[in-house]
Amino acid sequence: MGEFSGYHIGTIGAASANTNLFTYMFGPQVYFHHYGRFTPFVQDLFGVAHTNTFGATNNSFAMAVGGGVDVPFRGHLSLRFGPVDYLLSQFPEGGTSRRAQNNLRVSGGVRYRF
């Protein structure tokens, strides 16, 4: 599985953050097909995160671990609940030392299966 995501933060309260985060991750996604109409899945993705804040750019290791459920809707279409992931990145904070940023990422949508 490959996943490319982008996020933007403009302001937080009255403070301007003006930050972009992009993740580029790949890894296995495993489906469990013996649960009636529902198809649960888990994934473990690894890759790179890139951020730019006020013109400064940084790259970091990124990892997302989680899972979700596909529910058949009509024909090849399914509703996707998830993935709900733990997203880890390790950007520098306060100088040159890297610190872990622990994030919760929640997604959903429609899936078309060929």
Kindly report the length of the chain.
Answer: 114
Question: Residues 17, 11: contact at Cβ < 8 Å?
Answer: yes
Rounded Cα–Cα distance for residues 23 and 37 (Å)? 32
Domain boundaries, the chain: 2-112
pLDDT at 65: 98
Mind listing the pLDDT tens digit for each residue in 27-62?
A: 999 999 878 889 999 999 999 999 998 888 999 999
Whole-structure pTM value: 0.85
Q: Which residue has the tokens 């880890």?
A: 88
Mind listing the pLDDT tens digit for each residue in 57-87?
A: 999 999 999 999 999 989 999 999 999 999 9
Question: Residues 43, 27: contact at Cβ < 8 Å?
Answer: yes
Rounded Cα–Cα distance for residues 93 and 71 (Å)? 41
